Amino acid sequence: MSSIQGTVLVVDDTPQNLSIIGELLQPFYRVRIANSGEKALRAARSEPRPDLILLDVMMPGMDGYEVLRQLRADASTRDMPVIFVTAMDGSSNEEYGLSLGAVDYITKPVIPAIVLARVRAQLELKAARDRLARDNLWLEAEVARRMSENLLIQDLSVRALACLAEARDNETGNHIVRTQGYVEVLARHLLDDERFRPALEGNRLAMMVKAAPLHDIGKVGIPDAILLKPGRLTAEEFETMKTHARIGADAITKAMQQAESGEHHDAAVDSPTAFAFLEIAREIAGGHHEKWDGSGYPNALAGDAIPVSARLMALADVFDALISRRVYKEPMTLEETTGIILQGRGKHFDPQVVDAFVACSRQFADIAERYVDAGHEA
C-alpha cells in the first residue's frame, strides 16, 4: 500500500483502542490521539491540523455526536471529514451520525483492512476537494485579474476617445477629469433620493461616472474653423457647434446597432452591462445641453424627460466652464460660479441637482483646485 500524506486524529476513551488503531495507521500517516471529546476539539483546532478524524461515539462526558456538532459549528473545522468508530451496530445510530455530517461508519472490533481502505478513500477524497478548492481560488483570482485588465482597457479606451475630442477643442484634458469628478459627487449625494435612485442604483452610478468623459465626443465632427475659433461664434457657427450633441449620440447609437446586428460581434456585447454603459454614454453625449425648462438642445427636452445622467453632466459641464480659464475668458470665482448656477435653478438645471451642488460645493472646489490646468494655477 503506497503512502498518502495526511494527518489522522484518532479519538477514543479506551487506551487499547487508541493503541490498536494508532499502530495500524502509523506506517502510512501522521497520527494524533485524543482520549476525550474536549481534547479532540482542541486537537482539531491545533497544528498539525487533522485531515481526517476517527471518532468514537460512546465516550464519557462529551460523546462523539456532540464533538461532531461542535466541529461542524466551527468554520475552522466544519470541513474536516469524520468517520465514526463505534461498537453500536444499529442502523438508526448510523443514520443519525450520517445526518450530523459523518462521512462513514466503522464498527468495532475493527478489521484492519477495512479501516485502512476507508481511511485511504476519505483522505483521497479530501485531497481531491482541497485540490479543487485551490483550483477554484486560482480560477477566481485569474478571472478577477482579467476582468480588472478588461475594465482598465475600457477605462483607457473611454479616456482616449474623450481626449481625442478634447484635443480638437480649446479645452484641456483636465476638463474631463474634473467633470467626471463633479458627476460622481452629485450622483453619490443623490443616490439615496427616491427620485434619483432608480437611475443610480446598482452599478449604474459607476457606469455614469465612467461614461462622463464621453460627453463631448461629438465634437470630433465639428469643423476646426468653428471648434478652434478663439472668439465668439456667430449665430450660424453656434448652430453648427450645437450639432455635436446629436453627432455624439448618433455615433454611440450606431455602435450599439452594429453590436446588436452581429457586425464586429464579440462575446462582450452579449453582456447587458455593456449595453447599459453605452446607453448611459448616449444619454450624456446627447443630453448634456438640454435644459430643465425645455430651452436646450438638441431635442428641447424638459424636466424629468431629460435623463438623470444628462442632468448631472449639464451642471458639471457648466460649472467647469465657468470656474476654469479659457483662451477667451478668465476664470470666475467659486462665489460667482455658484451664483450663476443658482440663477439657473429650475430653468437650466434640475432644482434638486442644484441643491445637491450647493450641499457639495466644497467638494466641487476641491476637485477644481486639485486638477487645475497646467499653467493656469492661481
User: What would the mean pLDDT of 2-11 be, rounded to a whole number?
Assistant: 80
Grid look-up 438638441 returns 298
- Of the segments 34-38, 156-160, 249-253, 324-328, which one has the largest average pLDDT value? 34-38
Which residues share a beta bridge with 31? 8
What is the CB neighbour count within 10 angstroms for residue 17?
21
pLDDT at residue 268 in the model:
47
Answer yes or no: are the C-beta atoms of 105 and 82 closer than 8 Å: no
pLDDT at residue 322 in the model:
94
Higher per-residue confidence, 289 vs 176: 289
Q: What CA dihedral angle connects 27, 33, 37 and 43, to 10 degrees?
A: -100
* Amino acid letter, 338: T
Answer yes or no: are the C-beta atoms of 24 and 113 closer than 8 Å: no
pLDDT at residue 269 in the model:
45
Query: 139 pLDDT band (50/70/90 cuts)?
Result: confident
Query: What is the rounded CA–CA span in Å between residue 166 and residue 214?
Result: 10
pLDDT at residue 99 in the model:
87
Higher per-residue confidence, 227 vs 183: 183
What confidence tens digit (pLDDT) does each residue in 42-84 have?
Answer: 999 999 999 999 999 989 989 999 999 999 999 999 999 999 9
Grid look-up 476582468 returns 147
The full DSSP string for 305-322 is GS-HHHHHHHHHHHHHHH
Answer yes or no: are the C-beta atoms of 312 and 208 closer than 8 Å: yes
Give every strand in the sheet of 104-107, ordered side by side.
Answer: 30-34, 7-11, 52-56, 82-86, 104-107
Measured CA distances, 61 to 10, 13, 35, 36 (Å):
17, 10, 11, 8
Query: What is the rounded CA–CA span in Å between residue 326 and residue 166?
Result: 13
Answer yes or no: are the C-beta atoms of 204 and 314 closer than 8 Å: no
Has residue 260 got a pLDDT over 80?
no
Has residue 286 got a pLDDT over 90?
yes
| Interacting residues of 286 by C-beta distance below 8 A, sequence separation 6+ | 245, 246, 248, 249, 298, 299, 310
Answer yes or no: are the C-beta atoms of 70 and 63 closer than 8 Å: no
User: What would the mean pLDDT of 331-338 be, rounded to a whole number?
Assistant: 93
pLDDT at residue 276 in the model:
85
- What phi, psi does 83 have (nearest 5°)? -105, 125
User: Residue 132's Cα: distance from chain center in Å?
Assistant: 24
The Cα diameter of the chain in Å comes to: 104
User: What would the mean pLDDT of 163-188 be, rounded to a whole number?
Assistant: 79
pLDDT at residue 263 in the model:
52
SS3 329: strand
pLDDT at residue 1 in the model:
45
> Hey, what domains does the chain have and what are their CATH numbers?
7-137 (3.40.50.2300), 168-370 (1.10.3210.10)
What confidence tens digit (pLDDT) does each residue in 190-206 have?
Answer: 999 999 999 999 999 99
pLDDT at residue 67 in the model:
94
Query: 146 pLDDT band (50/70/90 cuts)?
Result: confident
Query: What is the rounded CA–CA span in Å between residue 218 and residue 212?
Result: 13
What is the CB neighbour count within 10 angstroms for residue 218?
23
Quote the pTM value. Answer: 0.60
Higher per-residue confidence, 91 vs 138: 138
3-state helix, strand, coil split of the chain in percent (to 5) is 60, 5, 30
Query: 169 pLDDT band (50/70/90 cuts)?
Result: low
Indicate the average pLDDT of the chain.
87
| Interacting residues of 307 by C-beta distance below 8 A, sequence separation 6+ | 199, 280, 283, 284, 287
- How many alpha carbons fall within 13 Å on the CB side of residue 106? 23
* Amino acid letter, 27: P
* Amino acid letter, 123: L
User: What would the mean pLDDT of 240-251 be, rounded to a whole number?
Assistant: 93
- What phi, psi does 5 have (nearest 5°)? -65, 135
